[in-house]
Structure 1
Amino acid sequence: MVFQGSSVAISHTGKVRSNNQDSGYAGSNLFAVADGMGGHAGGDVASSIAINRLAALDHTYDTPSDAERALRDAIADTASRLIETVKAQPELAGMGTTVSALIMVDDYAVLAHIGDSRVYLFREGTLTQITTDHTFVQRLVDSGRITPEEARYHPRRSVLMRVLGDTDADPELDTFIMPTQPGDRWLLCSDGLSGVVDDPQTAKALGQGLPPGRTADTLLRQALDGGAPDNVTIVLVDVGGQHPVFIGTPTVVGSASNPTGVEVPAARPARSGWLHAARQAANEPTHFEPAAEFLEELIEEDRRRAKSRRIWWVVSLVGVLLALAAGLFGAYSWTQTRYFVGADADTVVVYRGIQQNIGPISLSTPYADTGIDLDDLPAFVRDSVEQTISAGSLTDAQRIVAQLRETSEATP
């Protein structure tokens, strides 16, 4: 059965990149996003090859299992085509692409995924990330070493652990089948969107109930407002819903939309790099597929970074505690320059400090017992002493004591 719903696909270069290495597809039953990598037009070629191969799957299927098998075969064939392309054009060595694809079969969504593009499901007001990023930082999150929020700003957040590239003819894919229902909104996007626009913002845009085209425009505008450092590709699919069903010519966006194919510039002199021995880049690459030894270096670097963070935290805490202690000591020292006149059980006493206490801690101590009996003072004077009389200095306190002594001697 042909999918009943509406969809849109849009792609934008972003505010930093000079070319668009993303590709997207929205057809009758197939929807896909591919985020290419590898400078010198390599990413453009890789994502275009992936989308053009997947486009052949845009038809009806008897069962979801048939669609899942077709996705696996097509993506494996794409990997072979990437390898063959690099053999024919060595200047494209190091190119690759993510793939996130969705085929609608009756009441089921059949998904295939590799890389860090994402598939989300918005259902009954709740946004759920369906795919798992195949990235280094996602492994750190899964192992509990960093939080999802820390992963958003981790310096290695673009390091891919799995990708459709030019070296592996048998890529490890995630494929699964999920039931879907009228009212569901499926969002496929490159990390140019998910890396800039957070999930609450995305959920708010999807929850406004606007047609797919206007919703995708809203999400793109949010990515651009956030700086859009990478290409942004969005494919939005509504299952059923209130908006008119559109089934017609498939929409192809990004690099794959170039009808004459991607023009590969003449090869530039190779330059050595730590991550790839010979990689040309019109833009700084944003993705890598690290070898095992490089992964170990990344893990060790992350351990060093975590240790540095702990040391910094301890040093900062000690600094705060020392500053607090110095402040408390300074405040206490100031209180010991103050005096007041008060009473103990039966005599007038000069105290050093201030009248206040901090919990059980007294901020004053007896300085001198004057020997003046409280009973020798008039009642109103005795009350004043018992309530304490502030003195600006020791001299001032001694003056108050002299006045009290005169008063006590004059009292009959």
Structure 2
Amino acid sequence: MVFEGSSAAISHTGKVRSNNQDSGYAGSNLFVVADGMGGHAGGDVASSLAIHRMQPLDHPYTSTEDAQAELQAAATTAAGDLIRAAKDRPELAGLGTTLSAIAMVGEYAVIGHIGDSRIYLYRDDALTQITADHTFVQRLVDSGRITPEEARFHPRRSVLMRVLSDMDADPELDMFVMPTQPGDRWLLCSDGLSGVVDDAHMDKVLRLGMAPGRTADSLLKLALDGGAPDNVTIVIVDVGGQHPLVSGTATIVGSASNPQGVVVPAARPARSSWLHPVRQAANEPTHFEPAAEYLEELIEEDRRRARRRRVGWITGLVVVVALIAAALFGGYNWTQTRYFVGADDDTVVIYRGIQQDIGPISLSSVHEDTGIRLKDLPSFDRSQVQRTITARSLDDAERIVDRLRTSAGDDR
């Protein structure tokens, strides 16, 4: 069964790194992204080996079962290649690569995936992430300990729990089959795109309906505008649709596109950096596969971070509440230095405070009932008292009362 559609592949070093450790492949029936790791040389070699082991799978399939079997077999063979490369060149120890692949079989997409490169499906104006990241932070998300948004900025977001590497001769790929239909657009990418550009902005570009090549260019521009701290590799696959396949020639991008084939360059020994992933040099690996004994330490460190975050929030809240309380207390004390003259039932009263309430809280109280009856005041003075008369001080309030007493004919 031959796949009918169009595709494009693009790979960029990014703005920080000096070499491209990603590889990508877009053929007639097979589409792959691999994100290498292992230092200056190891990442290049790992992703290239994976792509070149996958490349012979680009042919029509009679069944989805055959496609799944070939994807798993090719991944296992690639893992063996990595083991031999590390044995032949000890400085490459620790090399590995993610692998996200789609083999199109008629109306179905057969997917093989390991690592944190991603496969998305854009269908009916909606973008859906199809693969799950094999990362430490994804485990935290799955267990409900952090949110997906927190995972985007977590300091351990680059720690991989599953990957093709020189340490596992039998890699476990996520394998599944999905029906596909004309109009579907598949996006395969390394975390150089998904780690910088969120789903909403990717959706906005895909919604424009441009040809695969222009779409890939637009997504790459978003990653570059976002700083592109890592290599960026993008493969776009359209099923049917308005953009015909220009050529049946496969497109290979990134380190696997080296015309001399898979070359193992002189490599610097990779420094172990799993404790400080955010402080790595630009040419050091971006991904780390911790040994099993490190997992509990990573989890405990995340617990400590969560506790520190809670303590920080509580401390900040206490400080804010204390500042608000101090401001309210200071404001209330200031109001108690103010005075005004007003009426209380049928007499003139000196009030302490201001003529305002905050909900049920009154900001004034009776300082002195003068005993001057309102009915004894001339109508103008009585009207002023009923509206209240502001005083500059207690002495001023007492002078106002003396004047009112004279007006009322009160000789006291």
TM-score tier by shorter-chain length is over 0.9
> Is 1:93 the counterpart of 2:125 in the alignment?
no
Normalised by the length of structure 2, the TM-score is 0.96
Letter in 2 for 1:250: A
Q: What's 1:312 paired with?
A: 312
Per-residue deviation, 1:286: 0.9
Per-residue deviation, 1:369: 1.2
Letter in 1 for 2:324: L
Quote the Cα distance in structure 1 between the aligned partners of 2:329 and 2:267: 70
Per-residue deviation, 1:273: 6.0
Secondary structure (helix, strand or coil) at the match of 2:337 reads coil
Stretch deviating more after TM superposition (245-254 or 157-166): 245-254
Q: What's 1:385 paired with?
A: 385
Tell whether the 8 Å contact from 2:16 to 2:282 is kept in structure 1 after alignment: no
Q: RMSD value over aligned CA atoms?
A: 1.8
TM superposition outliers: structure 1 runs of 4+ over 4 Å? 267-276
Quote the Cα distance in structure 1 between the aligned partners of 2:303 and 2:248: 53
Question: Over residues 307-358 of structure 1, what are the superposed CA-to-partner deviations in whole Å (9 max), with x where a residue is unaligned?
Answer: 0000000000000000000000011011001000011122111010001011
Secondary structure (helix, strand or coil) at the match of 1:407 reads helix
> Is 1:258 the counterpart of 2:219 in the alignment?
no
> Is 1:348 the counterpart of 2:341 in the alignment?
no
Tell whether the 8 Å contact from 1:113 to 1:173 is kept in structure 2 after alignment: yes
Could you tell me which runs of 5 or more consecutive residues in structure 2 were left unpaired when the two chains were aligned: none
Letter in 1 for 2:409: E
Quote the Cα distance in structure 2 between the aligned partners of 1:247 and 1:223: 27
- Identify if the C-alpha distance between structure 1 residues 258 and 270 changes in structure 2 by more than 3 Å, giving closer, same or farther: closer
Per-residue deviation, 1:248: 1.5
Per-residue deviation, 1:269: 6.2
**Within-5 A mapping of 1:114-263:** 114-263=114-263
Q: What's 1:15 paired with?
A: 15
**Within-5 A mapping of 1:258-277:** 258-266=258-266, 268=268
Quote the Cα distance in structure 1 between the aligned partners of 2:282 and 2:319: 46
Tell whether the 8 Å contact from 1:40 to 1:265 is kept in structure 2 after alignment: no
Secondary structure (helix, strand or coil) at the match of 1:41 reads helix
Per-residue deviation, 1:81: 1.3
Letter in 2 for 1:347: T
> Is 1:321 the counterpart of 2:318 in the alignment?
no
> Is 1:4 the counterpart of 2:4 in the alignment?
yes
The sequence identity of aligned pairs, in percent, is 73
Letter in 2 for 1:162: R
- Identify if the C-alpha distance between structure 1 residues 275 and 49 changes in structure 2 by more than 3 Å, giving closer, same or farther: farther
**Within-5 A mapping of 1:31-46:** 31-46=31-46
Letter in 2 for 1:283: N
Normalised by the length of structure 1, the TM-score is 0.96
Q: What's 2:48 paired with?
A: 48
Question: Over residues 177-230 of structure 1, what are the superposed CA-to-partner deviations in whole Å (9 max), with x where a residue is unaligned?
Answer: 000000000000000000111111101111101100000000011111111000
Tell whether the 8 Å contact from 1:12 to 1:232 is kept in structure 2 after alignment: yes
Secondary structure (helix, strand or coil) at the match of 1:368 reads strand
Letter in 1 for 2:53: R
Per-residue deviation, 1:379: 2.7
Number of residues of Structure 1 aligned to a counterpart in Structure 2 = 408
Letter in 1 for 2:223: A
Q: What's 1:30 paired with?
A: 30
Quote the Cα distance in structure 1 between the aligned partners of 2:251 and 2:111: 19
Q: What's 1:396 paired with?
A: 396
Question: Over residues 51-99 of structure 1, what are the superposed CA-to-partner deviations in whole Å (9 max), with x where a residue is unaligned?
Answer: 0000010001111111111111111111111111211121110000000
Letter in 2 for 1:289: E
Letter in 1 for 2:149: E
Secondary structure (helix, strand or coil) at the match of 1:18 reads coil
- Identify if the C-alpha distance between structure 1 residues 354 and 307 changes in structure 2 by more than 3 Å, giving closer, same or farther: same
Quote the Cα distance in structure 1 between the aligned partners of 2:365 and 2:410: 29
Q: What's 1:284 paired with?
A: 284
Stretch deviating more after TM superposition (95-104 or 253-262): 253-262
Letter in 2 for 1:59: H
Per-residue deviation, 1:383: 2.3
